[in-house]
Chains A and B, each alone.
Chain A
Amino acid sequence: MNLFKRAEIAPLEYTRRLWMRAWIAATLFFLYAPLLVLIAFSFNDSKRNIVWRGFTFKYYGKVLENDGLMAALGNSLTIAFLATVFSIILGTLAAVMLWRFRFPGKTAVEGTMALPIVVPEICMGVAMLVFFAKLDWPTDLPWPLNLSAITIAHITFCFPFVAMVVRARLAGFNKEQEEAAKDLGATEWQAFRDVLLPHMKPGIIAGALLAFTLSLDDFVITFFTSGPNTITFPVKVYSMVRFSVTPEVNAASAILIFLTILLTTVALKLQDFTKATA
């Protein structure tokens, strides 16, 4: 068979057209090249030059020895974990409330719940700064209580996302399942635990992943709520980036990228798993 003889391109097979492929390739190059360069040069055995001087792990060693950076990473992960746990609880409750009940002022509650998603980050950061200053929120508490202000701020902007995802999932729930459970003798709580909760699970997992990533990523809001002793990873990287571009920052960034990819992969696998068992 002739290698060059291929079926003609059908009108809607846009992805087989050359200009479209070039466009996609260029866009992906634009999106990924900077990240790949960043990762590649975290392994480059050269301090400033962009010329490749050999493979090394030494900047990763330096990152691991950098107590400030490691403490910041620890803070970030702690905050992300706490924010995720609280966001799941609050978000799920909010979703169930909005999905299940008719009550006065529902539209207002719904609208307010969506606000943290759409309010510009800077405004929310400012509000948190002002709020905690007004309360005279103690800043000298022992770890991890000193992270409470940041954690509260993170929960506030994360749980509406969880509520949104879980509610979307609930929209596909067949209420007759719950009625069937009650018909078979389950109490309100048992029906919730045995029927509704399993149905919500994929939504909760997706929401949890979203909350964790949002919390781990957040810079602006944290920037306004963090004090000198409560530096998170992005805030630390920010202060390093402001000064210079060094392989050490590359290595620290690469660590976070790998962490994100790992998390996304785990989440996708988990979702496949829940889909397969659902």
Chain B
Amino acid sequence: MTEKQPVISIRNVTKRFGNMVAVDNVSIDILEGEFFVLLGPSGCGKTTLLRMIAGFEMPSEGQILIGGQDMAGVSPNQRPVNMVFQSYAVFPHMSVADNVAYGLKISGVAKPEIRTRVDEALELVSLGGLGQRMPDQLSGGQRQRVALARGLVMRPQVLLLDEPLSALDAKLRAQMQFELAELQDNVGITFVTVTHDQDEALSMACRIAVMNKGDVAQLAGPSDLYEHPANRFVADFIGSVNIFEGKLTVDEPEQAVVDCPEVGRVYLNHGVTGAHDTTVWVAIRPEKITMLPAGKAKAKDSPDGHNIANGQIKGLSYLGDVTVYEVRLESGRSIRVSRPNLSRWDQEDFSWDDKVSLHWHPTSPIVLLS
């Protein structure tokens, strides 16, 4: 396979609103044909970045290239990108077909061609036959499909989607996640989506840029973000996690030990980068902790007294597929443990105030330097 070309290059882009820095010296390359997601909490600058690509905001500093061309001074109506707005922005005074045809009419496409392309686009988003409806006769999900069709029919180099699913109810959202990913696969157009919803990002994206306070905290594929977060922000933002502060006491090529006052000595069977005796953080996902009745735990593949902790169950919430336990450790710190409900009968193995032992595999902990 040949190396994919970046269709969008964001180079050292900074955006200030007055004294507020919304986007801080961000550089990202978005590749041809990928489903790229900008993920982050509200106010992290992700929407501003998307709007700068579309041309609705101008970078204070830096460059944005689309298809190798510098976009400075190019107004939104001349950029080879189209946008699906958070509010969908379906023109309420035009029928569905007129909405989808709007951009084509402006670019002077011949009438017969407009009709076939509009029909195709509506078919693509499963709105075939609804062309004559007015937007106020459509459901929220259908309106969103109109917005999608309106963008796709222009055959842009990149389709930008601003929180495309946030206005839909939970069930519809789950369904649309799959449909969007499938649609992107079918049309082969690069999608750049902004979302604050990690599930949405993980399920749809090829690559995700996690943003925090105007910075890119990490840019990686979904599983890498989850299993190899680069810092505490990403570890905490994606999924659920227990984070402990500690000192790096053993730091060898094949093994490492972090001494955490709250949870004891954490052993890893691989080396980590980081200076000896510096403060680091250890992150352990709840599902990667094994819980046994007190005294039964024995951490395999770890030195004695490592990767093991004792405590008492102080809370549990039954979520159907898993049960999440809150265990108070001897240090007073609480830790979260989740157990899959594999059988229909073993849910009552553990209960409030049970004394338990926890242990985890030496590959489970993640050492974070920041």
Contacts and interface: CB of A to CB of B under 8 A. Distances in A.
Interface of A: 7-12
Contacts of B57: 10
Contacts of A8: 58, 72-73
B72 A11 contact: no
A7 B62 CA distance: 11
Contacts of B73: 8
Nearest to B54: A11
Interface in B136-156: none
A11 B73 CA distance: 10
Nearest to A9: B58
Contacts of A10: 56-58
Interface residues of B, number: 10
A11 B75 CA distance: 7
A254 B224 CA distance: 74
B45 interface: no
Interface string B50-86: 0000011111100000000000110110000000000
A1 to B, nearest CB: 11
Given A11-B55, A11-B76, A12-B56, 12 more contacts: A7-B58, A7-B59, A7-B60, A8-B58, A8-B72, A8-B73, A9-B58, A10-B56, A10-B57, A10-B58, A11-B56, A11-B75
Nearest to B72: A8
10 contacts: A7-B59, A7-B60, A8-B58, A8-B72, A8-B73, A9-B58, A10-B56, A10-B57, A11-B75, A11-B76
A8 B13 CA distance: 14
Nearest to B74: A8
A7 B59 CA distance: 7
Contacts of B60: 7
Nearest to B76: A11
Interface in B316-369: none
Contacts, number: 15
B25 to A, nearest CB: 16
B320 to A, nearest CB: 37
A9 B72 CA distance: 11
- Chain A CB within 10 Å — which of B55, B58, B75 has the most? B58
A154 B123 CA distance: 65
Nearest to B75: A11
Interface of B: prevailing SS: loop
Contacts of B72: 8
Contacts of A7: 58-60
Nearest to A12: B56
Contacts of A12: 56
A9 B73 CA distance: 9
A38 to B, nearest CB: 38
Interface in B72-109: 72-73, 75-76
Closest 4 CB pairs of A and B: A8-B58, A10-B58, A7-B58, A7-B60
B14 to A, nearest CB: 10
Contacts of A11: 55-56, 75-76
A108 B72 CA distance: 60
Nearest to A13: B58
B69 to A, nearest CB: 16
B364 to A, nearest CB: 48
A20 to B, nearest CB: 16
A7 B57 CA distance: 10
Contacts of B59: 7
Contacts of B76: 11
Nearest to B15: A7
A12 B77 CA distance: 13
Contacts of B58: 7-10
Contacts of B56: 10-12
Contacts of B55: 11
Interface string B213-235: 00000000000000000000000
A157 B58 CA distance: 51
A9 B74 CA distance: 11
A19 to B, nearest CB: 16
A9 B56 CA distance: 9
A9 B58 CA distance: 7
A11 B74 CA distance: 10
A74 to B, nearest CB: 50
A7 B73 CA distance: 11
A9 to B, nearest CB: 7
A10 B22 CA distance: 16
Nearest to B57: A10
A7 B60 CA distance: 5
A44 B57 CA distance: 50
Contacts of A9: 58
A8 B58 CA distance: 6
A7 B72 CA distance: 10
A31 B188 CA distance: 57
A12 B51 CA distance: 12
B52 to A, nearest CB: 9
A12 B76 CA distance: 11
A151 to B, nearest CB: 49
A164 B58 CA distance: 44
Interface in B11-66: 55-60
B157 to A, nearest CB: 19
A8 B64 CA distance: 13
A42 B73 CA distance: 51
Nearest to B77: A11
A12 B55 CA distance: 10
Central interface residue in B72, B73, B75, by most chain A CB within 10 Å: B75
A10 B75 CA distance: 8
B258 to A, nearest CB: 46
A11 B79 CA distance: 13
A99 B141 CA distance: 38
